[in-house]
Amino acid sequence: MNAVRHTVFGLLLTSSTAWAGAPLAQTEAAAWLQKIAEASRHISYEGVFVFQQGGASQSQTLMVTGRPSGAHMESRLLTLDGNPREVRCSQQVSFTLMVNGSQQQIEKRLNRRHFPDLLPENAAELANWYSISLGTPSRAAGRDCTTLEITPKDVYRWGYVLCVDKNNAFPLRAVMINDEGQVLMQYSFADLKLGTQPKMDGHPMPAMPEAAKPATGSPIEVTELPPGFNRIAAMRRQLPNRKGEVEHWVFSDGLTHVSLFLEPVQKPVLPIKGQSKQGMINLIKRQVGDWQATVLGEAPWATVESIAMHLEAKPATP
């Protein structure tokens, strides 16, 4: 059955990418990835992009500005439709400002990255887990772009199609696709100015108490992770709109992020599987020893299942 599945998978990939060039050599792929990662972090920009998920019926338009500040970026996201929301990121802090009528609410974010900054600092290493091929040149936000198809080499990650500025490799469009080539979500600039000096108006950066503390020793261990995945964060935190602290770990291959939440079991946990439309987000909740483990992320079922099933309660230390 596995062999059959792989053959079918192979055929689908072949047919969907038949028009694309052959995969680039790994060094060349790595160079492309690194170039795109650096472009999104070194070029100042201001523009408007559209985020779509689950078809055109769900879309959100956002204004985004970003400028280098030291070794990092300062950036600001502002929703242009729907409820007013603003995300501000600097080297020190990132937060979301929400406005509902006369009420304002600020939430600290634990991560400072967002589109167009999608690739990690060590983007070249992604070439170990994804193959890259050049697709048909395209156009986005009035700019000519080079198309790169980022195809996972195994079942543990989603694929991407990136359109990057032909001249400087700045990401103009990013499409996340599943193993059948269906679009899961996409970001696409509608309008973009590069190399300007954007103003960072808006809400001043507030001083906020730390939202998370370092993780303490946990009685759970992960015996095995899918290839390329590392634990990139571990903290104790409060969950939005809920009392009490949980342990939150994050595993990533640089592009895919999977969260694990651990908390003491209050009552026996019935295992639950959750899945978003087209399977983009997968979730498992299960009991491991005296702990409730919730694993979720924008990753294939195989990834979430693998992590969830490789959790073990450490033997109690006397």
Partner 1 sequence: MTIKTATAPLASQAEEDALSALLDGELSQTESLRALARIHSAPAERTRFRTYSLIGDSLRGLPDTHPDFTTQVMAALKNEPTLLAPMPRRRERRPALWLAAAAVSAITWGLWQSLPDQPIPAPMAANAPRPVDVEPYLAAHQDFAQAVIAPAEMQFTQVSFVEPQR
Q: Rule CB under 8 A: which residues touch partner 1? A: 1, 5, 51, 53-54, 57-58, 60, 62, 77, 79, 82-83, 85, 87, 98, 100, 109-111, 114-115, 118, 176, 178-179, 185, 233, 237, 239-242, 248, 250, 252, 255, 257, 259, 261, 268-277, 279, 281, 283-287, 294, 296-298, 300-302, 305, 308-309
Count Cβ atoms below 10 Å from residue 13 Cβ, excluding itself: 18
Q: Is 282 exposed, middle or buried (0-12, 13-18, 19+ CB in 10 A)?
A: buried
Query: Minimal distance in Å, beta carbon 25 to partner 1?
Result: 26
* Chain-centroid distance, C-alpha 219: 28
Nearer Cβ to partner 1 (194/233): 233
Q: Could you give the CA distance from residue 223 to residue 275 in angstroms, rounded to a whole number?
A: 24
Q: Among 284, 292, 243, which Cα is nearest to 266's?
A: 292
Q: Is 75 exposed, middle or buried (0-12, 13-18, 19+ CB in 10 A)?
A: buried
* Chain-centroid distance, C-alpha 167: 25
Query: Minimal distance in Å, beta carbon 143 to partner 1?
Result: 22
Q: Could you give the CA distance from residue 98 to residue 313 in angstroms, rounded to a whole number?
A: 39
Nearer Cβ to partner 1 (139/277): 277
Nearer Cβ to partner 1 (139/310): 310
Q: How many CA atoms lie within 13 A of 115 on its CB side?
A: 25
Nearer Cβ to partner 1 (137/271): 271
Query: Minimal distance in Å, beta carbon 120 to partner 1?
Result: 11
Nearer Cβ to partner 1 (35/109): 109
Query: Minimal distance in Å, beta carbon 259 to partner 1?
Result: 4
Can you read off the two tokens belonging to residue 145? 């772009």
Nearer Cβ to partner 1 (51/220): 51
Query: Minimal distance in Å, beta carbon 27 to partner 1?
Result: 26
Query: Minimal distance in Å, beta carbon 174 to partner 1?
Result: 8
